[in-house]
């Protein structure tokens, strides 16, 4: 028996049933901690995706007609199952993503925030009512689900992002198709079991595993009404352009180059501690991770870099089974190789390695995809490592002379996902928050990711489309409005024809 035959073969989840793939094409799923292949995931054909869409379409009318109370009952049960099965879910996340257990638990907690927001859907779905807008006509609005919607999730948050981009869609009455990253499909399939157990009708939650072939069918199929995507900027732009070309509502969230401005009046010890977790947590594989520090003043830059170096050298990298580690491996060997090229390129362009994580000690004893924390200074805006998002534990320090220079550097960058500033000056903070052209802003907050009931979304090339992840805008994104004007004339009322454009000039009518 070959290794491939021994390997666990995953499925899709279609119409409430685990469904074997028929394409004959598979992608390997790795445990980044060991470097071992733990499963193979089927890559769906267009025909498989079409069938899944049709089954979701058939299930949609009944879910649409279900009372909002009934739908929220299912979400309450689903939420409870997430809490009850938290330990199992942590193990699944850690095994296929390499995250530490603490980080995986935090991801689940933030994911539950999105479920909590979805449970408030009745409030989000309330319409407006006006009495006697003219001629004894009452006008009111109602919100309706779109139908079948598609969501495409990244590898770096196997649970939080799927929950963030699907929970509200389910709550407001849509049938949802999730295409998870083929690197972390096991978490999505685990969520499928919980939805089933919570009582969600078959066909309302679908998981289709696949690559670009499956994605293109979702983007082009006329039955898909909306697409929500989280991933890299180039793919986000492709999703947006292709989806809108086929008349779909699209919210595509891309990458970020998220800087931390460090002012001379900041507490440098506290700021360095904040930088560490925000920059290197989850091996820096977060779209809201701090990419680097822009430090105002030469003396401040020197002192901050010295403090940071001492702390970075103490960080521990290792497997999630070790509760003492600060972060684990990156997701694949390919990712590791890409990150190594960024480090080598920075050195070639004249940057200086403050700490070099290219050969962490654990590499000698493990086949996992490990990199140590790397800190680079003497970085200038024309360098590749400044311009591009590095999805791994390589962070930079940039020195500037004044706050305005720092703001200008960030505003000139093509990405505008998140930014933060550490200072004790209220006037500097006010200037920063007013002038910065970034979607999510923090002041003395290391990772300015909004809570579940505020809208999430960057500016510039970090987001395409007007939808948001998290917050009340999600309910708007996944619904459409209908405005109704009604009048009930008395049988004795004069109903002679009028050819004037309707107006409320005659208040007695």
Q: List, in sequence order, every residue forming a beta bridge with 175; answer none if it has no partner.
A: 148
3-state DSSP of 114-174: HHHHHHCHHHHCCCCEEEEEECCEEEEEEEEECCEEEEECCCCCCCHHHHHHHHHHHHCCC
Long-range contact set of residues 442-450: C-beta below 8 Å, sequence gap at least 24: 442/418, 444/420, 445/420, 446/260, 446/274, 446/275, 446/277, 446/278, 446/290, 446/420, 447/278, 447/286, 447/288, 447/289, 447/290, 447/418, 447/420, 448/288, 448/418, 448/419, 448/420, 449/110, 449/288, 449/418
- Measured from the Cβ of residue 388, the count of other Cβ atoms closer than 10 Å reads 16
What is the reported pLDDT for 406? Answer: 97
Can you list the domains of the chain with their CATH numbers? 3-254+462-482 (3.40.605.10), 258-450 (3.40.309.10)
Task: Name the DSSP class of 317.
Answer: B
Pairing state between β 415-416 and 459-460: antiparallel
Helix (H) / strand (E) containing 8: strand 8-9
* Phi, psi for 445 (deg, rounded to 5): -125, 120
**Residues 6 or more apart in contact with residue 31 via CB below 8 angstroms:** 37, 38, 95, 96, 98, 368
What is the reported pLDDT for 89? Answer: 97
Active site residues: 287
Task: Name the DSSP class of 203.
Answer: T
Read out DSSP for 421-478?
EE-S-HHHHHHHHHH---SEEEES-SS-PPPTTS-B--EETTEESS--BSSTHHHHHT
Task: Name the DSSP class of 372.
Answer: -
Candidates 43, 330, 334; CA nearest to 185 is 43
The tokens describing 125, both together, are 């779905």
Local structure of 179: helix, strand or coil: strand
What is the reported pLDDT for 296? Answer: 97
CA dihedral 430, 276, 414, 353 (to 10 degrees): 130
CA distance 427 to 431: 6
What is the reported pLDDT for 2? Answer: 36
What is the reported pLDDT for 506? Answer: 54
Q: Is 173 left (phi over 0), alpha (psi -120 to 50) or beta?
A: left
pLDDT tens string for the chain (509 positions)?
A: 333 445 799 999 999 999 999 999 999 999 999 999 999 999 999 999 999 999 999 999 999 999 999 999 999 999 999 999 999 999 999 999 999 999 999 999 999 999 999 999 998 888 888 898 888 888 989 999 999 999 999 999 999 999 999 999 999 999 999 999 999 999 999 999 999 999 999 999 999 999 999 999 999 999 999 999 999 999 999 999 999 999 999 999 999 999 999 999 999 999 999 999 999 999 999 888 999 999 999 999 999 999 999 999 999 999 999 999 999 999 999 999 999 999 999 999 999 999 999 988 887 778 999 999 999 999 999 999 999 999 999 999 999 999 999 999 999 999 988 999 999 999 999 999 999 999 889 999 988 777 767 777 778 998 899 877 777 888 899 999 999 989 888 877 766 777 777 766 654 44
43 to 28, 190, 323: CA distances (angstroms): 10, 18, 35
What is the reported pLDDT for 505? Answer: 61
User: CB of 203 within 8 A of CB of 175?
Assistant: yes
CA distance 150 to 478: 11
Q: What is the pTM of this model?
A: 0.92
**Residues 6 or more apart in contact with residue 399 via CB below 8 angstroms:** 294, 295, 297, 298, 301, 377
CA distance 460 to 455: 16
What is the reported pLDDT for 78? Answer: 98
222 to 153, 227, 248, 392: CA distances (angstroms): 21, 12, 8, 38
87 to 83, 90, 105, 326: CA distances (angstroms): 9, 5, 8, 19
What is the reported pLDDT for 3? Answer: 37
- List the end-to-end C-alpha distance of the chain, in Å, as a whole number: 84
**Exposure letters 15-26 (e unless 16+ CB within 10 A, then b):** bbeebebebeeb
């Amino acid at each position: 028996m070959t290794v491939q035959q021994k390997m666990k073969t995953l499925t899709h989840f279609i119409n409430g049933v685990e469904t074997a793939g028929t394409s004959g094409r598979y992608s390997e799923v790795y445990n980044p901690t060991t470097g071992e292949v733990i499963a193979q995931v089927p890559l769906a054909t267009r025909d498989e995706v079409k069938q899944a869409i049709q089954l979701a379409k058939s299930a949609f009318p009944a879910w649409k007609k279900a009372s909002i109370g009934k739908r929220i009952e299912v979400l309450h049960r689903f939420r409870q199952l997430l809490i009850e099965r938290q330990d199992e879910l942590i193990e699944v996340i850690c095994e296929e993503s390499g995250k530490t257990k603490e980080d995986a638990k935090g991801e689940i907690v933030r994911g539950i925030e999105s479920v909590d927001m979805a449970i408030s859907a009745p409030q989000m779905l309330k319409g407006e009512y006006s009495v006697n807008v003219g001629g004894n006509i009452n006008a009111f609005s109602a919100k309706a689900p779109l139908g079948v919607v598609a969501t495409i999730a990244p590898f770096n948050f196997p649970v939080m992002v799927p929950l963030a981009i699907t929970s509200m869609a389910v709550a407001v009455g849509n049938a949802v198709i999730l295409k998870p990253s083929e690197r972390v499909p096991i978490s999505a399939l685990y969520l499928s079991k919980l939805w089933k157990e919570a009582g969600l009708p078959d066909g309302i939650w679908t998981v289709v595993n696949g690559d670009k072939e499956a994605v293109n069918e979702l983007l082009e199929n006329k039955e898909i009404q909306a697409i929500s995507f989280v991933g890299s900027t180039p793919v986000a732009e492709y999703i947006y352009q292709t989806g809108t070309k086929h008349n779909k509502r699209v919210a595509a969230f891309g990458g970020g180059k998220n800087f931390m401005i460090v002012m001379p009046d900041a507490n440098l010890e506290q700021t360095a501690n904040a930088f560490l977790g925000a920059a290197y947590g989850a091996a820096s594989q977060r779209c809201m991770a701090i990419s680097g520090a822009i430090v105002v003043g030469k003396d401040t830059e020197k002192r901050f870099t010295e403090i940071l170096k001492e702390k970075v050298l103490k960080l521990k990298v290792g497997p999630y089974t070790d509760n003492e580690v600060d972060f684990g491996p990156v997701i694949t060997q390919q990712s590791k190789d890409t990150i190594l090229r960024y480090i080598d390129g920075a050195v070639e362009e004249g940057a200086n390695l403050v700490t070099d994580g290219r050969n962490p000690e654990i590499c000698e004893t493990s086949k996992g995809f490990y990199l140590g924390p790397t800190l680079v200074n003497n970085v200038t805006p024309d360098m590749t490592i400044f311009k591009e998002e590095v999805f791994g534990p390589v962070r930079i320090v940039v020195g500037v002379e004044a706050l305005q220079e720092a703001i200008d550097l960030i505003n000139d960058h093509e990405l505008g996902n998140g930014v933060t500033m550490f200072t004790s000056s209220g006037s500097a903070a006010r200037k920063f928050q007013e002038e910065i052209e970034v979607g999510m802003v923090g002041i003395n907050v290391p990772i300015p990711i909004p809570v579940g009931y505020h809208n999430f979304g960057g500016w510039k090339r970090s987001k395409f489309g007007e939808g948001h992840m998290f917050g009340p805008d999600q309910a708007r994104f996944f619904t459409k409005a209908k405005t109704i004007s009604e009048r009930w004339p008395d049988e004795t009322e004069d109903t002679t024809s009028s050819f004037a454009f309707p107006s409320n000039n005659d208040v007695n009518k």
